[in-house]
Amino acid sequence: AQTVTQSQPEMSVQEAETVTLSCTYDTSENNYYLFWYKQPPSRQMILVIRQEAYKQQNATENRFSVNFQKAAKSFSLKISDSQLGDTAMYFCAFMKLRATSGAGSYQLTFGKGTKLSVIP
């Protein structure tokens, strides 16, 4: 089974600074998708950014960008100009074709999360 590892249970960053959250995954697949989700104290799960493995270009969404290193199986999230509203749990997630089900069935696996605190 594939695993998703987030090695930093907690992190903090000063407001307006940049922070990078780490994520590594283990797979023998070549085609898959990677995601970062944000969960603020409200509990809502919010998609931050998505990356297809076949794309070499790193995805960006405003202040959020990823460093996707396919050979190293690494998918880190960089948050620039951190804001107080960025305080949340961040989950890295990996999606690949499910091995035991019919065609078109994908499996989404989450890491254990990194708790990010933005300090005023």
Partner 1 sequence: EAQVTQNPRYLITVTGKKLTVTCSQNMNHEYMSWYRQDPGLGLRQIYYSMNVEVTDKGDVPEGYKVSRKEKRNFPLILESPSPNQTSLYFCASSLSETDYGYTFGSGTRLTVV
Q: Which residues bind partner 1 (CB under 8 A)?
A: 4, 33, 42-47, 50, 91, 93, 95, 101, 104-113
Considering the complex, state which of residue 15 and residue 106 has its C-beta at the smaller distance from partner 1. 106
Instruction: Kindly state the smallest distance separating residue 28's Cβ from partner 1, in Å.
Output: 19
**Secondary-structure percent of the chain, ordered helix, strand, coil, rounded to 5:** 0, 50, 45
Whether residue 81 contacts residue 16, with contact meaning beta carbons closer than 8 Å, is answered with: yes
Instruction: Kindly state the smallest distance separating residue 9's Cβ from partner 1, in Å.
Output: 8
Considering the complex, state which of residue 44 and residue 60 has its C-beta at the smaller distance from partner 1. 44
**Closest to 23 measured CA to CA, from 12, 35, 7, 37:** 7
